[in-house]
Structure 1
Amino acid sequence: MPREDSGSSSGASLTSDEEDYDRQELVAVSPTYASAPTTFPPAAAAAAKPTVQPIRTTAKTAGPMSPQRAPLGPHARRFRQVAQKLIQMHRTSTFISKMGAGAEPGVDPRRNTAHQLYGHLTQLCTIDVCDYNSVRSTTRTYDNSGFKDWLARADHKRESWAKVRWIHVNGISWDVLSMLALEYDMHPLALEDVLHSRHTSRSKAAYYSKHLFIRILVHALKEEEDFEDEILHEDHPRTESPIPMQTLKYDPDATLGKNSRATSRKASGSSTSNGPRDPEGKLPRTFTQERWQNRDADIDRRARMAKLQVIKDQDERVHVTLDNLFMFLLRDGTVITIFAKPNSDLVDPIKTRLKSRDGILRATADPSLLIESLLDLVVDEALEIVDRYQDALTKLESKILIRPKMRLVRALHIMSGDLALRKRSLEPIKSLVFGLRRYDLDRCKAVQEAEFAHLPPGSEIPPVIGFMSHKAKIYLADVHDHVDYILSSMDLFTTQAENLISYTFNLSGYMTNETMRRLTLITMICLPLTLLTGYFGMNFSAMFSVMEHSDLFFWEIAIPVMAVLIPLFMWSDIKRGVHKVQKRLAARQAAIEIKAGRIPAPVKHRKHHRRG
């Protein structure tokens, strides 16, 4: 990889490798954010093209005695392309491995190193652009190339009638992010958070001079199809992918499927039943072979579906997916949201609300209220998870109260761990919402003071204006209450799970004590008989109780002894049994009287569950 001069502002390459002779490498001007930002033309900024400087400006001209290169064949060109790709991948991996502690923070799309590090992040994204005010709303949808062409046009700027512009991106792709960063001057640290965020990232809000950046972790229930695919493909090797990878380019031949393969077979003159032999002498596939293969595949599919049904019946876990939602709130009323999961319908409720004029989003045309609606949507998704945990815990409780098993204890232990993880990832959302309500103006003031710190004393400083409006803060209070309800519910469910685990072990100990108690009772009953049997079984010649009496004398002594010892040692059990019989008789008599209409039936009170 070419080395760059750290003291040069242009970042021009000092050395270059031989493989760069046929490909000119582009180096961009990288201004610092402390100075005034460089102004780019709209078309160039939209297309995310940096200012180029060719590395090589001179080349040896082939003289009359220099040998001429022969034209490369298709295989040689293919090999050359593959070699260049491998060299580029090796450069990128080497550069990433060298970037450790002490590397410069932030991701600046104007630098060539950013393109080398993140240029491989390509994904087919869906970009929705919505402009609205209180009386009018327009929505446009683009893909990666369409969004690039739209930004390159001169009429992509927001019209005067639109008070709010909302740009929503489904998916993470470097070409889209670099275009947005250059067009709306995103801070490098915020762009780095978008590219380096993981499913364990904490939700937070970062204040910059030109925009507010929010990263929030979206908790959603895993869909049934995703859960089935995860179970059905869990035994696949790690090198095999159960689903096709998404590519950025659309391949029209991929939709032909079997028709394209059948056409190629027909063109080659082969047949599936009675065609000629291949060069190796093997017979072609017959209908019987295909039928047996289809039968084996059908048997395998049925076995997998049966396994899926068994696992779903025994599975008591609540499966949750975690994805990051990034939000940018600009001073000019532009809101940019980026969701890490492509082809998602997360923000469809907000899109539906924007189509109605009677909604508060359209009536106020407040961009901060749009941010509040998105936060409320994320919290509502978490409320559904709370309801699912409550249902799962109720089912486990009923099963444990009927018949406790160690499998249920294991499920409770797993649920307790999941609840702890959910609480740890949901607590930062509460701090985020509280910070937006309470410290929005203070943080904006701190950013403004740092921005105008170089001005001389006595200079006029513009008034501080927060990103969140007063109405948005009022509605954020309701969101804060919902998050507080979710966290308190998580604590309650954790306590209930631990109590059920303790109850199961206590019940197991109680059952063990009951078993020992029954054995003790049997021993108490049989001990006098054993004592008398041992006495009458002694081998003595002069023994009047045996020589002068029959076996009736044994029972004359044993029955009175048992009649005294059994009530004496089992009096509490006798009382408990009598009381149980009386309760059953009373319940049966009450049921008969209710059925006959002599007494009214009891009224059942239903508990209504209210969220929030």
Structure 2
Amino acid sequence: MFKTRSVTPGQAPATLTPHLVDGKTVHPKITLFEYDEVTLVEKEIANIEDAFGCFHNDKVSWINIDGLGDVDVLRKLGERFNLHPLALEDVLNTGQRPKVEHYEGYLFIVAEMIYLNKEEEVCGEQVSMFLGRNFIITVQEEPETDAFDHVRARIRSGRGWIRKMKCDYLAYALLDSIIDHYFPVLENLGAAIEDIENTMVEKPSRSCLLSLHEYKRTLVQMRRFVWPAREVATSLMHEETGLVRAETKVFLRDCYDHTVQIMDLVESYRDVVSGLMELYLSSIGIRTNEIMRVLTVMSSIFIPLTFIAGLYGMNFAYQEGDVKMPLNMPELHSPYGYVIVLGVMVLIAIGQVLFFKHKKWL
């Protein structure tokens, strides 16, 4: 669900290790957006060097890399834009905590993008950004999933502020798009939790408990990403190097508010899931008590019946030859003894049932 790729113990710092697919390196998909208020250039490029010539103007240049299979692309970017090797290592070692790091001439931003796959399962991948004065570079894990389609559509149409602003506003738009994608995921989780709640009230089952454990795990993971995302928005709002301008910081306040809302939703759903798990355990305890009560009542009814049956099952002889033994169960020779004993047993059982109902034990 949430992919994590950590450094091998003992590995030298700033070691770049590619992500392999079936044991092979895969060249990433690289796209370039170059625009200002009037013009727009959008193209897919095969070699990263083809994008280097666009950074000598006042336009906004956005390079997006989908895939982590070719470390040479990152090395060339690092050489061209003086990107720190440790930042490049964090790009490849996914599962980083969302953060903002200040380097000379640029900011390194890490965020976690959450989305629903085709099976409606919650998945996540790391998005890394390098924000400079006239460029922004984003690196994603997978080419198949993306949260930036709406941002691209706004750039193409020229609607809103995005074509009038600089790279810092584009970084805000990308970060805001990542955070906004948490809302539909949480709505989907909320609907699923509500369905389980209705099922738990009517008929709790082990499958419900397993689903609740999975949802709780997902919410814990989301909280681990949302909490530092709020710190990312705060850091960008108070950034003092001039890479984030004052007019963009106003929009970042809205991004911060969204992280607070998401955090509230995550905590609320966690409380609901914990409550449902307690409800399940309570309902199981209640069902067990009801079953034990019924079994106890049934055992209590059969105790005297078993005693009578056992007593008359001893078959002590009433007469041995010509010698009569009246103390040895004279009822054995009564013509109605069998019917009388059965009738007594039925009356005892009915009397016990009436007594239990009077005591409200049934």
In which range does the TM-score fall when normalised by the shorter chain? 0.7 to 0.9
What amino acid sits opposite 1:166 in the alignment?
Answer: W
Superposition pairs for residues 90-489 of structure 1, below 5 Å?
100=10, 123-144=26-47, 147-149=48-50, 151=52, 156-160=54-58, 162=59, 164-172=60-68, 173-195=70-92, 197-198=93-94, 200-224=95-119, 319-331=121-133, 333-342=134-143, 344-362=145-163, 364-437=164-237, 439-441=238-240, 444=241, 466-489=242-265
* Alpha-carbon distance change, 507 to 475 in structure 1, aligned in 2, over 3 angstroms: same
Larger Rg: 1
2:273 to 466, 484, 497: 497
Q: Distance in 1 between matches of 2:51 and 2:329?
A: 120
Runs of 4+ with >6 A deviation: 531-540, 542-545, 552-563
* Alpha-carbon distance change, 526 to 361 in structure 1, aligned in 2, over 3 angstroms: same
Q: Which runs of no fewer than 5 residues in structure 2 stay unpaired?
A: 1-7, 319-324
What amino acid sits opposite 1:148 in the alignment?
Answer: E
Structure 1 residues 441-477: Cα deviation after superposition (integer angstroms, max 9, x where no partner): 2xx3xxxxxxxxxxxxxxxxxxxxx322333323222
* Alpha-carbon distance change, 368 to 553 in structure 1, aligned in 2, over 3 angstroms: same
Q: Distance in 1 between matches of 2:78 and 2:107?
A: 14
Q: Which runs of no fewer than 5 residues in structure 1 stay unpaired?
A: 1-96, 108-113, 225-317, 445-465, 577-612
Superposition pairs for residues 555-594 of structure 1, below 5 Å?
565-571=352-358, 573=360
Q: Distance in 1 between matches of 2:219 and 2:173?
A: 26
Report how far residue 388 of structure 1 moved: 2.7
Report how far residue 355 of structure 1 moved: 1.8
* Alpha-carbon distance change, 349 to 158 in structure 1, aligned in 2, over 3 angstroms: farther
Q: Distance in 1 between matches of 2:51 and 2:327?
A: 122
Report how far residue 352 of structure 1 moved: 0.5
Q: Distance in 2 between matches of 1:137 and 1:175?
A: 28
Report how far residue 557 of structure 1 moved: 7.0
What amino acid sits opposite 2:101 in the alignment?
Answer: A
Contact kept in structure 2, 1:126 and 1:343, CA below 8 Å: no
Secondary structure, counterpart of 2:27 in structure 1: coil
Aligned-pair identity (%): 25
**What's the C-alpha RMSD, in Å, of the aligned pairs?**
3.9
Report how far residue 206 of structure 1 moved: 0.8
What amino acid sits opposite 1:567 in the alignment?
Answer: L
Q: Distance in 1 between matches of 2:29 and 2:232?
A: 28
Report how far residue 122 of structure 1 moved: 5.9
2:288 to 512, 520, 540: 512
Report how far residue 326 of structure 1 moved: 1.7
Structure 1 residues 307-346: Cα deviation after superposition (integer angstroms, max 9, x where no partner): xxxxxxxxxxx63333221212212x32222223235543
Report how far residue 495 of structure 1 moved: 3.2
- The alignment's TM-score, normalised by the length of structure 2, stands at 0.76
Contact kept in structure 2, 1:217 and 1:322, CA below 8 Å: yes
Secondary structure, counterpart of 1:440 in structure 2: coil
Q: Distance in 1 between matches of 2:292 and 2:326?
A: 41
* Alpha-carbon distance change, 217 to 529 in structure 1, aligned in 2, over 3 angstroms: closer
Q: Distance in 2 between matches of 1:170 and 1:544?
A: 95
Q: Distance in 2 between matches of 1:143 and 1:343?
A: 18
Secondary structure, counterpart of 2:181 in structure 1: helix
Structure 1 residues 28-54: Cα deviation after superposition (integer angstroms, max 9, x where no partner): xxxxxxxxxxxxxxxxxxxxxxxxxxx
Report how far residue 214 of structure 1 moved: 0.8
Secondary structure, counterpart of 2:89 in structure 1: helix
Report how far residue 526 of structure 1 moved: 4.3
Report how far residue 496 of structure 1 moved: 3.0
* Alpha-carbon distance change, 535 to 143 in structure 1, aligned in 2, over 3 angstroms: closer
* Alpha-carbon distance change, 129 to 557 in structure 1, aligned in 2, over 3 angstroms: closer
- The alignment's TM-score, normalised by the length of structure 1, stands at 0.48
Contact kept in structure 1, 2:55 and 2:135, CA below 8 Å: no
Q: Distance in 1 between matches of 2:42 and 2:210?
A: 50
Report how far residue 511 of structure 1 moved: 2.1
Secondary structure, counterpart of 1:134 in structure 2: coil
Structure 1 residues 53-111: Cα deviation after superposition (integer angstroms, max 9, x where no partner): xxxxxxxxxxxxxxxxxxxxxxxxxxxxxxxxxxxxxxxxxxxx9x957x6x558xxxx
What amino acid sits opposite 2:283 in the alignment?
Answer: L
